Amino acid sequence: MNNLLFLALLTLLRGSRVDAAISRSLQAYEKIRGRECFRSLNGMMQSMKDLAAKYPHLMTINTIGESYIKKYGTSGINITKYDVTYELPPGGYDILAFNITASNSTRQSPDKGKMLIASRVHAREWATAELNARFIEALVEGYESDADITSILERNEIHAILYVNPDGTYIAEKYPRSMWRKNLNPVGCDGGSGGGVDINRNFDFMWGDTRGSSADPCKLTYHGPSANSEPETQALVDYAMKLFPEGQRKKKPEKQKDEAFGEEISGFYADIHAFGRELYYPWGFDDIKSPDDEAFQALGRKLHSFNSYRLWSGAQPHYRYPVTGVASDYMYANMGVASMLYEIGSRFHQPCAEFEDEVVPKNLPSLIYAAKIAHKPFSLIKGPDVFELDARHDNGELRVSATASDGKMVNAIQISSEEFKNSSDYPTGSQVIKAVYVYLDLHPDDWQEGDIRWDMDAIDGNWDTNEESVRLTVSTEDFPSGKHIVHLQAIDSLGYAGPVSSVFVNFVQESAPAPGTTSPSFHQAAKGCLKRLNNEQVDLCLANEHTSNIAINCCSGSQQNGDLTCSRTGCKQTMSYDEAKAHCESMIMRLCTTAELEARVCCGKGCYFNKLPTWTSDMCEEI
């Protein structure tokens, strides 16, 4: 898969602070027995609470309901399998939702897009909560270092319910042979050996239709005594009602199921299950298309471009069997949001090698992409995507290049799937690219007439195909030095705007000398660990284009807050000031000040620090 988002996410997740943070989480918390890659129910809940404490500006926790045992107790529940009477979860559980968003952004909650992602609806599907948690961790760890993630969290709320069915999860993890799927409602299945309600047949859309569920309490797909009867179902439904816009709901969803919602809906629901390597979207209750099938199929096809999963939906070649009373159909029919069910991996208890090498790298970028379009999914999914985005600042100019394509993602299935090899290009992917706009420090959704935006140029000089390579070079003399965010959005010939792609760029501007300083082409450097050498002040004023050996040190934190740290990143290099500054910023650090170096913060770091000068962030004082 040659697409920028996939590569960016792999870069972010592997060999980075995100990967390191996830590794620490796995090491520090209790795991499911025999699966070192999956945190247990208790270990996961503790790790998420710790993550929220670490990132209070990005992550909050809400109690949205109670499990069956927490609400009703254990009376009548007696589960015996393989001559073992199962221990029940003591006291049951609160059902928790995690809200991931940038609380300090200018956009307030009512104006933010909403994505809801749920997992462990079926208790035995171990990998689903772990993937959900990895998604949360990628978001909070990527904020302010990955521009796409930063933009997502400043404009959206990502709500994650890791354990919709915590009672069942307790049984499934403590007794793996049970392959427990349902909740723990003692519905009267011959002593409870096969009891419980299938939460994903209990939702109030096409509920009770036995083409896709069972009325037998002993069956795995038992739909429960009534629609939304289970406290776990109620928790998910009530929470969704608070998140998604009331104005886009239908009054009688089943009677109005043939009426399209249209392209202006807002909201995205993702339901993570295992297994099968499939993407499911409405309808599931019958082998027929939904009234918004064009948007849904474009969505399924584009998500397929990340993971190569087969499309399971009505009127698709891979429609498997009817499912009724399921969350994905309910969220679309009743809440009016885009919904997608992921069947990840190849088994309920996935091997760690498969999870780490296949499931995570193929599905995390897919979920990030879904989050990018959550605020307007049925419109954005029909627009062109931006790939190979490169933006850099050089000699006072911003230089941006990219490729925009209407068909690359939506038609990838024709290459990767036998079922679609002879099909023609999908209608939403056949439009000509008509424009690609560049926005600096302003999201396209906030652009108004009179605001700055730039039109990119087609490299071949013509806007005449559904894929164009584009570029832009503009002066940045009116913009300050420092970190900026560049947004790109492509438009096709039908007027559809595609998902926004973003990247950070650091501007280093030439400026006039400040009072009391020499030319800004010189910066203060320090030498050695001591403020004075042989009782004489060490004053080094070096040209920015320094060509002899120099050491590079980067700092983070501050002396005032007591968290100042220094990292040795190079020595005996011919690195210019601008290169050293950019090098530190690429590590989410900065050049140390002269005062910090003189305070010995970098002492003991090895290399040739005592012999070589090192760049600081201070300009030379006039001497």
| Residues labelled catalytic | 343
For 181, other C-beta atoms within 10 Å of its C-beta total 23
Residue among 338, 384, 369 nearest 494 (CA): 384
Q: How far apart are the first and last CA of the chain?
A: 57
Task: State the alpha helices, DSSP H only, in 202-292.
Answer: 231-243
Cα distance between residue 603 and residue 581, in whole Å? 20
Spatial distance between the Cα atoms of 150 and 160, rounded to a whole number of angstroms: 18
Distance from chain centroid for Cα 279: 18
Question: 101: which residues sit within 8 A by CB, 6+ positions away?
Answer: 58, 109, 112, 153, 156, 157, 158
Which of 28, 67, 34 is CA-nearest to residue 51? 28
Residue 95's beta-bridge partner residues? 65
- Among 553, 552, 606, smallest CA distance to 574 is for 552
Residue with tokens 């450097």: 525
Nearest by Cα to 141 from 2, 7, 25, 46: 25
DSSP string, 448-479: -TTS--EEPEETTS---SSEEEEEEEEE-TTS
Which residues, at least 6 apart from 608, have a Cβ–Cβ distance to it below 8 Å?
A: 549, 551, 571, 572
451 SS3 class: coil
Residue 381, both tokens: 């999914």
